[in-house]
Every structure is written in structure tokens, then in C-alpha cells.
Homo-oligomer: A and B are copies of this chain.
Amino acid sequence: MSQLEPEDLVAARARIAGRIIETPVMRSDALDDQLGCEILFKCEQLQVTGSFKFRGASHAVSLVDDSCQGVATHSSGNHGAALARAAHERGLTAHVVMPDNAVRFKVDAVRRNGGKVHFCAPTQQAREAGLRDWVEQGFEAIPPYDDDRIIAGQGSCAMELIEQVPDLDVVIAPVGGGGLLAGTALAAARAQRGIRVFGAEPTGADDTARSLASGHRVTEHRPRTIADGLRALVGERNLALMQRYGVEVITVEEDRILDAMGRIWSDLKQVVEPSGAVALAALIRAVEAQPADWAGRRVGVILSGGNLEIEPLIDTCRASASGQ
């Protein structure tokens, strides 16, 4: 179980200051008017490597012993690229075990950030076995979310947001494995101002909502969602922190995720990936259900990342132009 306390976030943040970007907060009058609350978008798509994952990864890497050869993880997504970059900046090698069906642009992102990619069969067992090999050779494992170093690093995102928007009422963060959401809960608890924390989860990967409802971590989990960053099963210590701090989860259907992504692209002009739009989708759903609960509130919405495959989108533009 996690030994993390809210005050631990302070040291974590100090360790990564100067490495991470203090990302800006953006607003949209149109969205504020539509939803009847003030929405403060925390722009982690502008973080190093294009997602909040770099916060936790750089914190974990900063704690690795100098005698260590390097680090290793398995990942099909943003954690791999973030860890690669964090390791590279400390002059360490990062070995990233990736399923051989990982999409090419994510493999490229790991390599572009200096990581070494090792393909394995697309099963949990093969991924863990692949990682074990590197650990046995002396590389330190840095898991993507179920790890106190990672959670403490991700907490720096909400810490910044709470400073940037001093009278914040609510924070909504997406939840996959739960590193960002658990860190957000710790940051809100540290502020001691009754800031409420919500997780935002696709209905097609609602393991966290089910786990919180049943009181224990579910094991049946067959994620089916476009939000590829949120397909992981919630981590044990992540879930325990959510329970400790009374985090609630709002689930959203696929169409809502895509609609929210479109609103962020068009209204904020920010490229976010589907996972990065889930928190806004959850807010829209919650306001529709209970508008009075949200009226006039100042709501932080974490845009968690902006890494998606651009080529098919450009092809769509090209096709539309040549059809004119």
C-alpha cells in the first residue's frame, strides 16, 4: 500500500522543478457560457513529450541510484516516451518493452526520445517477462502508475493548477491506471480547502468506477475505448488513495469523448488525444445531469496529453481539398 502523504508532493515537485514545464491554464468563453461554470484547462499536452507522464517519469528517474545502469519499463503509450526522455536527460539508458502490435507513431516517440524499444508478444505475460529480463540485467523497473514515485510526480500537475487558480472548487482528471488521479487527490488534500476531485473514465474501461462502487479492485477488465491511454487496470495503491480521499468517478461514452475532443480542438485550438479529452467529456455529462451542482463553480479540467496519430487527419484534409 502507498505510504504517500500529501506533504510528500512538495519534495517531489522540488526534484523535478526545472525539468518539467509549468504548463499554462487556458479558458474558453464559449464553453464557460455553455456549461455555466468557469473551466480552467490545465494544458499537459504542452508538457515535455506531450503528456503529464513526464512528471512522474522524471521524478522516478531522479531517484534512481547513481550506480544504476539505467531504467526499464513496459508500455504501449505515453509512459514509454516520457521515461525514455527522462532517462536520456540524466544520461541513462531506458529499455522499453512494447507489444509488437503497438502503433508505429508511439514506437517512434520512444525512439525519438532516446529510448531502446524491444518488441514482445502483445500479452501482459510477455510484457512482464520482457521487463524482467532487463531488471535481471541490473536496470531499474519504473512502472507506469502503481508506484509512489510516479504518483508523487504526477501530483505536481494539480499542485501547479491549484496555485495558478487559487479559488478552484473542483478538479477533474482522467483515470486509467490512476497515477494522475491519485496524485491529484493528494494535491487537493494538501490544499486543505475542500477542493473536490473527480476521476473521468470511459464507460468502455470503467474498472475504477466499478472498483470504487464495489469497495475492492475488480479483476475482470476488457477495455474497449478510443481513449488508449486509459485502458490500463487501476493500480492497487492508486485505488487505495482514491478511496482514502473520497474521489468519485464519472463515466463517459465514446461519442462524448469524441465530441469533447472536437470542442477542445475547435474552441481552444489545442491538439489533445482522446484520453486527454475525457475530463471535459465528464464535466459536460455531469453538468447536463445536475446543472445546479456546477453553476458558477471554478472547475479545473486536466488535458492530460496530446499524442495522437496525425497522418490520417492530414490525409483527410488532403482528400477534402482535392474533392473541391
- Stretch in A62-70, A137-145, A242-250, A310-318 touching the partner: A310-318
CA distance A259 to B311 in the complex (A): 9
B50 touches A226 (CB 8 A): no
Name the interface residues of A64-113: CB closer than 8 Å to any CB of B.
Answer: 112
Distance from A181 Cβ to chain B, minimum over Cβ atoms (Å): 22
A321 and B226 form a contact (CB under 8 A): yes
Please name all residues of chain B whose beta carbon is closer than 8 Å to the beta carbon of A312 when the two chains form the complex. 316, 320
A308 at the A/B interface (Cβ < 8 Å)?
yes
Nearest-Cβ distance from residue A47 to partner chain B, whole angstroms:
10
Asked whether A211 is an interface residue with its Cβ less than 8 Å from the other chain, the reply is no
Measured CA separation A306–B271 after assembly (Å): 11
**Contact of A173 with B by CB under 8 A:** no
Mark A251-274 against chain B: 1 for CB-CB distance below 8 A, else 0. 000100011011001100111101
What chain B residues lie within 8 Å of A45 (beta carbons)?
Answer: 269
Tell me whether A209 is interfacial, beta carbon within 8 Å. Answer: no
CA distance A297 to B131 in the complex (A): 44
**Is A46 on the interface with B (CB-CB < 8 A)?**
yes
Find out whether the CB atom of B266 lies under 8 angstroms from the CB atom of A321: no
Closest to A319 in B: B312
B266 touches A269 (CB 8 A): no
Q: Is the CB of A265 within 8 A of B321?
A: no
Cα A301 to Cα B128 with chains together (Å)? 46
Majority secondary structure, A binding face = helix
Instruction: Report the count of interface residues on A (CB-CB < 8 A).
Output: 33
Contacts A45-B269, A271-B270; A261 near B226 (Cβ below 8 A): no
**Which of B24, B50, B310 is within 8 Å of A262, CB to CB?**
B310
How far apart sit A313 and B314, CA to CA, in the bound complex (Å)? 9
- Restricting to A285-324, which residues have a CB under 8 Å from any CB of B? 306, 308-318, 320-321
Q: Which residues on the B side are within 8 Å of A274 (C-beta)? A: 317, 321
**CB nearest neighbor in B for A44:** B269
A residues sitting closer than 8 Å to B (CB atoms) are 24, 30, 45-46, 50, 112, 226, 254, 258-259, 261-262, 265-266, 269-272, 274, 306, 308-318, 320-321
Can you show 28 pairs from A to B with CB atoms below 8 A apart?
A24-B24, A30-B112, A45-B269, A46-B269, A50-B269, A226-B318, A226-B321, A258-B318, A259-B314, A261-B317, A262-B311, A262-B313, A262-B314, A265-B314, A266-B310, A269-B270, A269-B271, A269-B306, A270-B271, A271-B271, A274-B317, A274-B321, A308-B317, A309-B320, A313-B313, A313-B316, A313-B317, A316-B316
